[in-house]
Amino acid sequence: MLYSIDAERTRLSGVLEFAPESMDGNENKLAEKIAALTGCAAVYCLAVGGSAVRQLLAAGIQPMRLADTESIEPILHSLRDSIRNGGVAWIDKIIHRNADESRFDRMAEEGWQE
């Protein structure tokens, strides 16, 4: 499940589903799944291997391993609080990166020249 989150609200923005044959331990399955997560800031999972961690980080996606199954609602609430209040390094980094990207977009729209 994909969620869009800001400091005030959470919205379900999509659901990803992969065919069972793509979950057979084949290392190549990761590329398709990571490509499907393009634009995501983080992925929460119960298990993630070293290769997946490296590929997720290379794609700019923070892997978050959960110790046990739990409801998503407390996690989403915590993420909203962290966006609003700061103090979580990987979230602060993403917010700063997004602010920089929008700054450059505004400059381009204004016809900014070097």
Q: Where are the domains of the chain?
A: 2-85
Residue 101 pLDDT greater than 70, yes or no: no
CA torsion, ordered 93, 73, 46, 96, to nearest 10 deg: -10
Residue 22 pLDDT greater than 50, yes or no: no
pLDDT digits (tens, 9 = 90+) for 26-75: 667 788 889 999 989 999 999 889 989 999 999 999 999 998 888 899 99
CA dist., res. 80 & res. 6, Å (int): 6
Q: Is 31 helix (H, G, I), strand (E, B) or coil?
A: helix
Fold classification of 2-85 is Nucleotidyltransferase; domain 5 (3.30.420)
CA dist., res. 92 & res. 42, Å (int): 13
Residue 103 pLDDT greater than 70, yes or no: no
How high is the pLDDT of residue 53?
94
